[in-house]
């Protein structure tokens, strides 16, 4: 086993490299190029997931869920399907006041600002130095999930900034702002369970206020019955989510198998099984005291329980920062390597596969999904007790 002095020397050499001005300028230039490319995508052929179309329908007093479920998708730009909660369209109706070109430019700028704020908030809570914050920001901005998130006009950074509320001291403010992430249902289960274990039913109800108020406003504005609109987002989410692009989660793995128990449709049985597992993981996470560790574990569990596409992997930012903070430990190094795999390795592998097989579009194979799921589980396990070099103690 290496001595403490050798580990300290290694850490000093690593820090000296990061502090080098030429190195920092180099990675800043690369990151700037990546940001500009993401903006180019978002404002030319991209922003196809940006919730502009359903928000505009809502503003024009047309129920976007009913429009989608009717089978007529002509009023949606690209893949801007209403896959999220009612509150999303109340929130994004501000963007629908602008024309399409202006709104997607504004949203891409907002997305970048949310990314920068997330880096600053989490890094400051980790008590990192300025040069370390610059490095981490540049690595994030160079990553595939970042370009994909901004380029597609996704809301993953909105979810991440909502998760940053976990650092607040006020229980009400913390839980209320955490509830903004419920706009995207796939991020809801693990967080809701953790809030319940930590702050009880009261905390859980507070976290649901934003979506609850959004549901009321949505229904009243459209003059529709509350019980008529309540399950519409879930119906669209089940029908509209492209599970074929999910990267490595239990929901996708289980849903590929056929269940014939009690005449329950496979997808509903899968949801129940994943929720049960999520419940026990939440109980484990809720026992932790360090907010940075909690947000890190929440981020990982989100990705390996329910289906997520590549842009959602920006949510691994807290895990990367937590691991970077504890870089001298072996588990932290493993954690960093796995995060970098999801931020860079997956796309490199896909590009190589596309080149070798001479195809333009690629979806994750069953084996790739299993491998990614395995990496995420390992990532969770090494982060549970990262400040030890023992692989047996957790």
Residue range 255-265, pLDDT digits in tens: 775 554 445 56
Alpha carbon distance 169, 330 (integer Å): 32
Q: Examine the pLDDT at 171 and tell me if it is beyond 90.
A: yes
Kindly state whether residue 392 falls inside one of the protein's structural domains. no
Domain contains 7: no
Share above pLDDT 70 across residues of the chain, in percent, rounded to a whole number: 89
Say if residue 394's pLDDT is above 60. no
Of the ranges 20-29, 92-101, 371-380, which one carries the lowest mean pLDDT score? 20-29
**pLDDT for the residue 393:** 47
Question: Number of structural domains, the chain?
Answer: 1
Establish if 12 belongs to a structural domain: no
Is there a domain that residue 141 lies in? Answer: yes
Q: How many Å separate Cα 349 from the centre of its chain?
A: 21
On whether residue 234 sits in a domain, the answer given is yes
Half-sphere exposure of 13 (CA within 13 A, CB side): 6
Residues 350-386: tens digit of each pLDDT: 888 777 877 766 677 788 889 999 999 999 999 998 8
Structure tokens at 270: 């899968």
Classify the C-alpha dihedral 287-126-323-111 as positive or negative. Answer: positive
- Whether residue 4 has pLDDT greater than 60: no
pTM for the structure as a whole: 0.90
Q: What confidence score (pLDDT) does residue 361 get?
A: 60
Q: What angle do CA 141, 142, 144 make, to 5 degrees?
A: 100
Query: Where in the sequence is the domain holding 129, given as residue range(s)?
Result: 23-384
Among 119-128, 181-190, 197-206, 351-360, where is mean pLDDT lowest? 351-360
Q: What is the mean pLDDT of the chain?
A: 89
Q: What is the mean pLDDT of residues 296-301?
A: 97
User: HSE (CB half, 13 Å, CA atoms) of 313?
Assistant: 28
Q: Encode pLDDT of 304-332 as tens digits.
A: 999 899 999 999 999 999 999 999 899 99
């Amino acid at each position: 086993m290496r001595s403490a002095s050798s580990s300290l020397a290694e850490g000093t050499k690593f820090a000296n490299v990061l502090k080098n001005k030429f190195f920092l300028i180099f990675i800043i230039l690369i990151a700037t190029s990546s940001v500009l490319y993401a903006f180019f995508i978002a404002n030319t052929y991209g922003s196809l997931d940006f919730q502009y179309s359903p928000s505009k329908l809502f503003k024009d007093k047309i129920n976007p869920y009913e429009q989608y479920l009717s089978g007529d998708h002509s009023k949606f730009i690209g893949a801007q399907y209403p896959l999220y909660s009612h509150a999303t369209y109340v929130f994004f109706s501000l963007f629908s006041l602008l024309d399409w070109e202006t709104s997607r430019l504004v949203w891409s700028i907002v997305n970048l600002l949310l990314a920068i704020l997330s880096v600053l908030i989490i890094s400051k809570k980790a008590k990192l130095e300025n040069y370390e914050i610059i490095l981490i920001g540049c690595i994030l901005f160079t990553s595939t999930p970042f370009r994909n998130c901004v380029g597609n006009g996704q809301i993953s950074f909105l979810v991440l900034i909502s998760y940053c509320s976990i650092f607040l001291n006020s229980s009400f403010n913390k839980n209320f702002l955490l509830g903004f992430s419920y706009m995207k249902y796939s991020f809801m289960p693990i967080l809701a369970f953790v809030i319940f274990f930590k702050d009880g039913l009261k905390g859980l109800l507070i976290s649901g206020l934003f979506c609850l108020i959004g549901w009321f406003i949505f229904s009243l504005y459209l003059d529709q019955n509350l019980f008529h609109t309540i399950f519409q987002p879930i119906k669209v989410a089940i029908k509209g989510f492209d599970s074929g692009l999910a990267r490595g989660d239990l929901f996708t793995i289980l849903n590929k198998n056929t269940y014939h128990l009690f005449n329950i449709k496979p997808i509903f049985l899968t949801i129940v099984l994943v929720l049960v597992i999520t419940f026990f993981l939440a109980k484990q996470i809720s026992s932790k005291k360090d907010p940075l560790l909690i947000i890190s574990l929440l981020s990982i569990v989100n990705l390996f329980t329910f289906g997520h596409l590549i842009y959602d992997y920006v949510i691994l930012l807290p895990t990367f920062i937590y691991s970077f903070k504890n870089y001298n430990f072996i588990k932290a190094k493993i954690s960093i390597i796995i995060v970098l795999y999801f931020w860079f390795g997956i796309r490199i592998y896909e590009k190589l596969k596309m080149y070798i097989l001479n195809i333009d579009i690629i979806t994750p194979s069953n084996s790739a999904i299993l491998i990614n799921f395995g990496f995420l589980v390992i990532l969770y396990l090494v982060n549970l007790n990262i400040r030890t070099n023992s692989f047996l103690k957790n």
